[in-house]
Structure 1
């Protein structure tokens, strides 16, 4: 039984009963990137109390949204096919929430999984389809991501490696993705630091990943 019961017979109501508790959708967000151990989920959501994380995982399991699975002699949590159906919902919520983000507060952090989902949210496959295949090495706060774009296909993985353009940025990268800051100005003002490769490729990145604020 869901932790919250609104007493209404409605699809939206039922969805909120299943994933509307605090932290639940953020757990789903991180599992959309890939299976995670309990400790990895806790590290990716540093403010979540351990008892709340355990409770949410149990609720999501009971609802058939996630499951525990053995992987290389450890137990991981992963989304079920029913849970993966939440991906377009999470992406749409991310795009909607982006419009109200404003400037980052000092205490706010970004994580590899949150940035991976942000890039999925901002990805424009119809634009990338007409651009050359490109690999970006993106150091976004503490997250080192390899972002591979090949036509309408996007692949984001953790780590460093060969890239056509490698750059570093913090939470202010939302100003580039929103179009508030042009790529050349993002570099000139230090919002984006080019580490390797031609800075002109940041224009291609900004065209490929865009969300209007």
Structure 2
């Protein structure tokens, strides 16, 4: 159980007691992408103090939100079924927070798990269902992802594979996703650099992944 107690009998209050402590929902965000070792969780949240990371993991385990599990001779943390019920909440918070992001600051980083959840938040399956299947390699800072769209299905993974379009982008890619910057203008201004494939596929990417700012 988290240390914070609001002293109110309410579902929202109880939810905040369980996942409202600093860093807790970001741990849930990263674990929604997949199970992670302790070191991977620390690397994905480079500013989290080690004592806080240990405390949050302990609290989330005690609440039944995450669990420790053996995987290939190592221990990983993963969400329980109860914890996975937070996915629509996290996606909704991501869409809501996207409206207030503003311009990226120099010290802010984009992690692979954060980018994965941004793409899952912005994905429009109804639109994608009308477009040809497309694979993208998206590189934003140190985050590199393989993004496969096939009809209304989305798969985002790390690693390499055949793609139709490979591009590198600054964190200003969020302006393309929001519609504030057109794909053509993003390429012309260097916000997006096409590494492989036809640049006009960036328009399909922007149509498939969109969040209103």
State how 1:191-210 maps to structure 2 within 5 Å: 191-210=191-210
Q: Is the 8 A contact 2:139 2:145 kept in 1?
A: yes
Cα separation, 2, equivalents of 1:23 and 1:75: 21
Per the alignment, residue 17 of structure 2 pairs with 17
Post-superposition offset of 1:48: 0.2
Looking at structure 2, the residues matched to 160 and 199 of structure 1 have their Cα atoms a distance apart, in angstroms, of: 19
Q: Secondary structure of 1:107's match?
A: coil
- Provide the alpha-carbon RMSD of the alignment: 0.5
Q: Deviations over 1:44-98 (max 9, x none)?
A: 0000000000000000000000000000000000000000000000000000000
Hey, what does 1:176 align to over in structure 2? 176
Is the partner of 2:180 in helix, strand or coil?
coil
Determine the structure 2 residue equivalent to 1:148: 148
Residues 161-198 of structure 1, C-alpha deviations (whole Å, 9 max, x = no match): 21000000021000100000011001000000000000
- The Cα of 1:31 is off from its aligned counterpart by 0.2
**Structure 1 equivalent of residue 212 of structure 2:** 212
Number of the residue aligned with 1:43: 43
Shift of 1:2: 2.4
Please give the secondary structure, in 1, of the residue aligned with 2:127.
Answer: helix
Distance in 2 (CA, whole Å) between partners of 1:143 and 1:107 is: 15
Q: Secondary structure at the match of 1:171?
A: coil
TM-score of the pair, normalised by structure 2: 0.99
SS at match of 2:212: coil
Maintained 8 Å contact 2:2/2:21? no
- TM, length-normalised to structure 1: 0.99
> What residue in structure 1 maps to residue 92 of structure 2?
92
Q: Could you list the per-position Cα deviations for residues 93-132 of structure 1 after superposition, in whole angstroms to 9, with x for gaps in the alignment? A: 0000000000000100000000000000000001001000
Aligned-residue offset at 1:143: 1.1
Whether 2:97 is the aligned partner of 1:129: answer no
The CA deviation at 1:160 is: 2.3
Partner SS state of residue 68, structure 2: strand
Q: Is the 8 A contact 2:170 2:191 kept in 1?
A: yes
* 2:172 aligned counterpart, secondary structure: helix
Q: What runs of 5+ residues in structure 1 fail to find an aligned partner?
A: none
